[in-house]
Structure 1
Amino acid sequence: MKPLVSIITPMFNSEDFISETINSVISQTYTNWELFLIDDCSTDKTLQIVNQFVSQYPNIKLLKNDTNLGAAITRNKGIEVSQGKYIAFLDADDLWKPQKLQHQIAFMETQNCDVSFSSYEQMNETGKPLNKLIKALRELTYQKYLKSNYIGNLTGMYNVEVLGKIMVPNLRKRQDWAMWLMAIKKSGKPAKGIQESLAVYRVRKDSMSSNKINLIKYNYWVYRKGLGFSTLKSVFYMLGFLYEHFFVKSKLVIKV
């Protein structure tokens, strides 16, 4: 039997995009999955929309926070109840291509890797393609990953049977980077990148990729709070990040 994949999707006031996101999971050519939609006290029509899917699909499950807890704790609630051999993440405004799970599971099973990710594309808030491809590195070591966030969270997947459940650190932003760092470190092997584009990331006005000041600020806190580095060590790595992000990683952004 094909291994079960647990998909974790936190939601907060996601009525504009959640249907499209869920449909991109339903459209997967790989069918052995469970989708956990965890609502962080939405005040719009998110729950009304999601309940329509829950009533039709037994493998789509809704969890609700009693109070607004933020993305990290919300993701962790889904991770805690997940039962899959693999855990993958999809935010409530992003999309997967139909072959995403099929190709990624086959890749992980044949390559014997614990953590994988893929190339992905970008679209704007209205869904218009930005004609940008973010190319995945073929291999990503822990030391390389410390320098910059090379894993698009919507493309990442890890093997729970090997690594156990990796919980997301309670950081306001960039908690996914800290989580993937922990996963790669625990694996002891490089993460492996799939060259094929398997997902589409929505760049919104409040997206980290659209605000360079916040990008720098929250990345610093990954070093300082997420990884527990000293102030001096955090500043040292932050300087390395600036070089890596703007002069090395930028070369992986390809116009298409």
Structure 2
Amino acid sequence: MPEVSIITPVYNSSKFLAQTIESVFAQTFTDWEWLITDDQSTDDSVKMIQELNDHRIKLTISEKNGGAGHARNLSLEKATGRFITFLDADDYWEPNFLEEMVAFMKKENAELAYSNYARCDENLSPKIEDFKADKEVTFGNLLKTCRLSLLSSMYDSQRVGIEFFPEGSKREDHVMWLNLLKKISVGKPLPKTMAKYRMHATSISRKKTNIMKDQYLVYKDFMKFSTAKSLYYTANWALNGFMKYSKLFN
């Protein structure tokens, strides 16, 4: 059994996939399995993955286009590693990411940890200041803002189990982290920048006003909060989202 399971959804990702592959193979920590699920791509993504000659890579091709959360779940069903981490097909890790995160998890006896990450343009050049892992994360403070990014986080599946992504939510990553933090008391910060996140101009996650309803449903439908409580946390999330991405506050 590998120490780490890397979970990656792929959908028409050939433009950036080569750099993501490069960042995984450059890792100084090598005891990993890479579970990739293709979500019915129509470009060369599958071919690029199939050409990789490494027994640690396990490719699944989804029978339907079900979205990133569904693709991640298909990979999670096959994960055998103790530590679970995520890397989308357009993101990038520094070579020491896995080594540093695993060491930190063990040293701190952490069930969940997250690091800084650089916020870059499509060429991986810095766009705004790095996002800082500067606070412990709890269920309570994660309700107001999602400090956990998939590409810079890791959890211990031996201690907390596998946490799957919800079907039917466009904010599936936030719901998943909230469900995970119902099981544990705290996620710990590692204040080192070890990943690069591409901030695409057309990214849905950047269009905050277009996903207010989806965020409201995180609280109303998935957390089962009252209407008033759901509106309260949606307002907090919107304010914190502005502060997270605005150059004025970074």
> Structure 2-normalised TM-score?
0.93
**Residues 84-233 of structure 1: matches in 2 within 5 Å?**
84-187=81-184, 189-233=185-229
Counterpart for residue 62 of structure 2: 65
Verify the 8 A CA contact 2:208 2:238 in the aligned structure 1.
no
Residue ranges of structure 1 left out of the alignment (5+ in a row): none
Amino acid at match of 2:157: V
Tell me: CA distance 1:228–1:252, structure 2 relative to 1, closer, same or farther (3 Å). Answer: farther
Q: Where do 4+ consecutive residues of structure 1 move more than 4 Å?
A: 249-255
Who is 1:45 aligned against? 44
- Work out the CA distance in 1 between the residues paired with 2:249 and 2:198: 16
Q: CA RMSD in A?
A: 2.1
Deviation of 1:132 after TM superposition, in Å, equals 2.3
Instruction: Please give the secondary structure, in 1, of the residue aligned with 2:14.
Output: coil
Answering whether residue 54 of structure 2 is matched by residue 74 of structure 1, we say no
Matched residues in 1 for 2:194 and 2:18: separation? 19
Contact 2:120–2:126 (Cα < 8 Å) also in 1? yes
Paired-residue identity, %: 36
- Measure the CA separation in 2 of the matches of 1:221 and 1:44: 33
Instruction: Return the alpha-carbon distance in structure 1 between the equivalents of residues 117 and 236 of structure 2.
Output: 24
- Cα distance in 1 for partners of 2:2, 2:188 equals 19
SS of match in other structure, 1:199: strand
Shift of the 94–117 alpha-carbon distance from structure 1 to 2, 3 Å rule, reads same
Q: 1:156, CA displacement in angstroms?
A: 1.1
> What's the secondary structure of 1:165's corresponding residue?
coil
Matched, 1:235 2:234: no
- Gaps in structure 2 of 5+ consecutive residues: none
Match of 1:12 in 2: 11
> In structure 1, what is the Cα distance between the partners aligned to 2:78 and 2:141?
32
Query: Could you tell me how far 1:238 is from its partner in structure 2?
Result: 1.0
Q: Which has the higher mean CA deviation after the structures are superposed, 230-239 or 60-69?
A: 230-239
Q: CA deviation at 1:94?
A: 0.4
Inter-CA distance 216–91: structure 2 relative to 1 (3 Å threshold) = same
Q: Secondary structure at the match of 2:189?
A: strand
CA contact (8 A) 2:8 2:88 kept: yes
* Partners of 1:134 and 1:254 within 8 A in 2: no
2-structure distance, mates of 1:24, 1:171: 31
Task: Render the CA deviation track for 1:100-128: whole Å, top value 9, x for unaligned.
Answer: 01000000001011011111001112333
The one-character-per-residue Cα deviations of 1:118-152 (angstroms, maximum 9, x if unpaired) are 11001112333314200012311210111111111
Tell me the amino acid that sits aligned with residue 58 of structure 1: H
Instruction: Kindly indicate whether the alpha-carbon contact (under 8 Å) linking 2:118 and 2:131 is maintained by their aligned counterparts in 1.
Output: yes
| Distance (whole Å) between structure 1 residues aligned to residue 41 and residue 87 of structure 2 | 18
Distance 2:12 2:121 in 1: 18
Cα deviation, residue 29, structure 1: 0.5
Q: Give 1:215 deviation, angstroms.
A: 4.2
Amino acid corresponding to residue 201 of structure 1 in structure 2: Y
Name the TM-score, length of structure 1 as normaliser: 0.91
